Amino acid sequence: MTTTTPLKPASTRLRELLAQDEILVLPGVYDGISARIALSEGFDALYMTGAGTSASVLGQPDLGIVTLNDMVGNAGMIAGLNPAVPVIADADTGFGGAAMCARTTTLYARAGVAGFHIEDQVQQKRCGHLGSKQLVTLDEYLIRIRAAANARAALGSDIVIITRSDAAAPVGLSEAFARCKAALAAGADVAFVEGLRTRAEAEEAVRVLAPAPVLLNLATNGLTPNWTVQEAKEMGFKLVIFPNAGMIPAALAMRASYQELRAQGTDAKSCAGMGPRGLFEMVGLNEVMAIDAAAGGNFTID
């Protein structure tokens, strides 16, 4: 009789990765195609970008328009493609007060999400790399974090809670550090200071927030310099996310294809020789055929 080792929860796997010496690199994904391609490139974990979810699911900018249901549905689909690869998902502001933050935690955990970050902006939030951000009070923010931590405990889950502060731009870096430290004390596991602008600021964040792991957001061509993974490691960061890595190149490629079609009456150049089967192979065709064969089926494609 063949026995198999039960698959660990993705959150447990994420905690194991965080305990290792190496920096954890998470490419931004926002839909099934981007997630499948990132998985095929062998990344140890993925990051579901809220901006990418808002843009791809709703066709809207990252201005607090996306809902909890939108985010949970997208995150659960991505996490389910390969449950062995942890997914960290944006959770915006937690989508409300204590009850909603608890519900967010519960739904993300049940969807198989390994970790998520909650920020200290007001409900009508905006992308962390845009200006004019407004914050809730520290007390209100800590209620969000405590509610998430309490919900996690009630579930018996080890989902990773990441505190994100957007206070650096509107208030100052010291306030952002203080908010993250308070949130870590309230139950968060990882710290994330949005909008670091210099290497000195980045190194200070790692030093002040130690011993907690610190996440660096490298939103390409945003407020933070376009540092490399090696530079992030040298500064002491434990995780680095690249939210734009999938969505901006894809958007630019789609625009070029539609412009080609509009101007030349064909999209053949943009498709670069790939047809439907090639795309289907990128999103799991061979895996589906293997599942069928293992069950005794005879599904084939000539």
| Structure token pair of residue 288 | 């589906």
Which of 62, 120, 166, 189 is an active site residue? 62
Q: How far is CA 82 from CA 46, 172, 241, 279, in A?
A: 10, 40, 19, 19
| Structure token pair of residue 245 | 């890595």
Whether 92 sits among the annotated catalytic residues: the reply is yes
Quick one: which of 76, 18, 14 has its CA closest to 238?
18
| Structure token pair of residue 286 | 């061979």
Helix (H) or strand (E) holding 293: helix 285-294
Residue with token string 């996440």: 215
Which of 13, 15, 103, 117 is an active site residue? 117
- Alpha-carbon Rg for the chain, nearest whole angstrom, is 20
H-type helices in 66-198, by residue range? Answer: 68-81, 98-110, 138-155, 173-185
Whether 119 sits among the annotated catalytic residues: the reply is yes
Which of 31, 108, 127, 152 is an active site residue? 127
H-type helices in 130-275, by residue range? Answer: 138-155, 173-185, 199-209, 229-235, 244-264, 268-271
CA angle 51, 269, 261 (to 5 degrees): 70
Distance CA 186, CA 174 (A): 18
Q: List Cβ neighbours of 259 (8 Å cut-off, separation of 6 or more).
A: none
Which of 119, 120, 166, 189 is an active site residue? 119
Which of 47, 129, 144, 244 is an active site residue? 47
The full DSSP string for 49-72 is -HHHHIIIIIS--SSS-S-HHHHH
Which of 13, 129, 164, 179 is an active site residue? 164
Which of 31, 90, 120, 166 is an active site residue? 90
Which of 92, 120, 166, 189 is an active site residue? 92
Whether 189 sits among the annotated catalytic residues: the reply is no
Whether 90 sits among the annotated catalytic residues: the reply is yes
Q: List Cβ neighbours of 228 (8 Å cut-off, separation of 6 or more).
A: none
Q: Which residues are catalytic?
A: 47, 62, 90, 92, 117, 119, 127, 164, 194, 217
